[in-house]
Structure 1
Amino acid sequence: MKILSRTDSILQLSRRLDWRFLLPEPQLRRVAYCGPEHSTLAIALREFSEEFHTFAPTAPPSEGGFDVAVLAAPTVPQLAIAQQWLAPGGHLYAEAQHAWDWRTERKLPVRSRKALSIEDWLENLARLGFVESKAYWHRPSFERAVQIIPLHDDGARDFVFARRSDDFMSQLKSVTGRSVMKNAWLARLLQCVSLVARKQP
């Protein structure tokens, strides 16, 4: 078994937070987090955030004013709670991992089984008062993402879906990116989709 050095471990944790470059300010200052406490996401946030706080999924915020709220496998009600954690102009980052792993046909440990399309997620964010909401596909996974593809960008999305590859993309080559945005079943195939949005100032 390969033993990672401290430097290698820090580098891997840093890569787990590559999504921070989707934010206007990639430096993580005051961060609120809701999700598994021992996940690599939580460990990375503890390592790289100036101030890190964890919250229970259904607990109302005991304090607010956070620059970034991070949610793992959220439900729509949890998005509403996270909105209260944020300072005006603060940003939400949510990893909306879907409940079904199509490759192994096993259920993933998420709290909500309700299928939502990507557009459903974005509409819910707008209803809750978030602005500049965007969706990204982390390929092949959140943990090992080598690509973060903007699904809200028609050009980037269509380019990716037009390419042939050895994974399930080749099976979906006849399906447009817009169908993936609207169809909850197809959204499940993407599995690792993140949402980034800003609370109104």
Structure 2
Amino acid sequence: MKNRIIFCGTPDIAAGILESLLEIESIEVVAVITQPDRFVGRKKVLTPSPVKVVANENDILVLQPEKIGTITLEVQNLKPDFMVTCAYGQFVPQKILDLFKNCINVHGSLLPKYRGGSPIQYSIMNGDEVSGISLMKMIKQMDAGEVYVQEEIKIEPNDNSGSLFLKMTSLGQSMIKKYLSKILSGEIKGKPQDESQVTFAYNKVGEQEKID
């Protein structure tokens, strides 16, 4: 019997992860949760998230709550086994996490470095030579759960956040296909993060993204 998965994500990197999930024979993506459609550009065109586009192309149920905590009953009725998330854009409350056997997050840094919503941007801003992807257990505290597996990626001198996002997407897709089934089965165990090495990459605002 296939594991029933609900996927939470919003931007392009998350859409890439969803595409990889759909290639794994041992799971069934029964729904995606993504941010509501937003008005984009000067003409204010109402635009779906990249994750919603992929979901619609594959006839997957789409849920778009303003606050994820408001759809507890809808999630419960889907009888999911596991949640997988990547760059969803909302804090997932405990009452949602409790509906799953386990919740796995695809995080764009080598945890415990750069917990938070802008790890890829911070790695560029701080001139890091390497970054990577961490597959980790979601808990109530932000990006603080056990880490199952990590892989590094080199940051080239000419990389910007856009090019690094593309590399991270490719790496995340590969890792999901390579490791997720083993994590869900318990074959790969999580390891606690070293709290003495924690740094944060909080969501950036427009003013911070201006080039000096």
Taking structure 1 as the reference length, the TM-score comes to: 0.40
Tell me the TM-score normalised to structure 2 length. 0.39
